[in-house]
Amino acid sequence: MRRKLAAGNWKMNGLRADLAELDALASRYEAPEVDILLCPPATLVAEACARSGAISIGGQDCHSGQSGAHTGDISAMMLKDAGAGAVILGHSERREDHEESSEDVRAKALAANAAGLMCVICLGESLEQREAANTLEIIGGQLSASVPDTATGENLVIAYEPIWAIGTGLVPSLDQIGEVHDFIRTQLERRFGAGVGRSVRLLYGGSVKPDNAADIFAVSNVDGALVGGASLKSGDFSAIIDALNDSA
């Protein structure tokens, strides 16, 4: 049985005062039946870890190296040292803004796993790629190049995030979500065998909100969500967590 996971990505949002939202989540979910992960900006990771209770804290990126002359970057070991348990890698905003390739993502994933962090690796197609009926080809290529051979159900989570659905209010149909999630599951089983392939959790991300979460969580092979905008306010994120809990 895969444990459900609700993950929040604050992106470049959040000052120390906003950790009040985390406080609200931590007191509401003292012993949650689903896993909850919140990924604030790097400046808040250590403080968030000190007051997150049963909620795991993650980073939004890490460097593939352990240390060195990389101004502005942070290593997986630094996130781990700050108390983080996970890191988002290969988000489409990183792939676009920083020209990260899937090979870069795989190198980062290896570093993250070596430091003891679980990776949430993001995959997603552009609108042009979907309209050209290339979605599965794109997802398959990103999946095989981004995921290291050492993947397990404990050190890897995959988030399917169609680029055109992120922050836009647009959401694929439930059939479209199911098609991609079933495809990812099949690819993982082929590459890693049924044991590992069936144990990796698959999240959907892209405009998940309190009013569409329950329908999305009913789709086959959707084990949770990666939530951007709606994770900024504890009320909205709680409604999504509760929908996931009800689907479990």
Active site residues: 91, 161
- Quick one: 10 or 29, whose CB is closer to ligand PEP? 10
Choice from 40, 59, 162, 205 touching ligand PEP (CB under 6 A): 205
Residue 202 and residue 211: Cα distance in Å, rounded? 20
User: In angstroms, what is the minimal distance from the CB of 8 to ligand PEP?
Assistant: 9
- Quick one: 90 or 178, whose CB is closer to ligand PEP? 90
User: In angstroms, what is the minimal distance from the CB of 143 to ligand PEP?
Assistant: 17
User: In angstroms, what is the minimal distance from the CB of 173 to ligand PEP?
Assistant: 16
- Quick one: 147 or 232, whose CB is closer to ligand PEP? 232
Segment near ligand PEP (CB under 6 A); pick from 65-73, 181-189, 190-198, 203-211: 203-211
Contacts 24+ apart (CB under 8 A), 177-182: 177/204, 177/216, 177/219, 177/222, 178/219, 178/220, 178/221, 178/222, 179/136, 180/135, 180/136, 180/139, 181/219, 181/220, 181/221, 181/222, 182/220, 182/221
Q: Do 63 and 108 meet the contact criterion of CB atoms below 8 Å apart? A: yes
- Give the interface size with ligand PEP as a residue count (CB under 6 A): 14
Which residues, other chains included, contact 108 with Cβ-Cβ below 8 Å and sequence gap of 6+?
61, 62, 63, 64, 76, 87, 89, 90, 119
Choice from 21, 61, 125, 161 touching ligand PEP (CB under 6 A): 161
| Contact footprint for ligand PEP (CB under 6 A) | 9, 11, 161, 166-167, 205-208, 226-230
